[in-house]
Amino acid sequence: MASTGKTIRIFLVDGEPTGILLAEISNWTGKVLVAPRSKLDQLSKREEVRRTGVYLLVGPDPDDSSRALAYIGEGDNVLKRLPRPTSTRPGTSGSAPSSMSPPPALDCASAATTMSP
């Protein structure tokens, strides 16, 4: 079976490779958004993050600094599932719903989401 190549197009939303990234793969309807924790407020303004999708939180392992931990979650509205600091939104709990809360070490991590239109 012959392998067919794919094109990945990456858009630097704020013009910086360490900021918010939007990636699309040719012939695939989903999108990938990547953002550091410090940019979640900017990420929350994007339409794509309100769609159904899967998200991945990555952060340092508090027991072993040479390792990273990952938390994978999903939601009908990914934005509602991403942990948020209480200081950025008055009157909110500041985290994902308790039934699916990520480990505390990941609460300050980067977020990557994969969404379908």
pLDDT at 61: 85
pLDDT value for 108 = 43
The domain in which residue 36 lies consists of: 1-79+109-117
pLDDT of the residue at 15: 95
98 within domain boundaries: no
First to last CA, the chain: 30
Note whether 100 and 72 are within 8 A (CB): no
Q: Is residue 26 part of a domain?
A: yes
> What is the per-residue pLDDT for 10?
94
Q: In whole angstroms, what is the distance from residue 43 CA to residue 111 CA?
A: 10
Total domain count, the chain: 1
Nearest alpha carbon to residue 96 among 115, 80, 108: 80
Please report, in tens digits, the pLDDT of each residue of the chain (117 residues total): 677 889 999 999 999 998 899 998 888 888 888 888 888 888 889 998 898 888 888 888 888 989 988 888 888 988 888 876 654 444 434 444 444 455 544 444 455 555 555
Which token pair is 116?
A: 């379908």
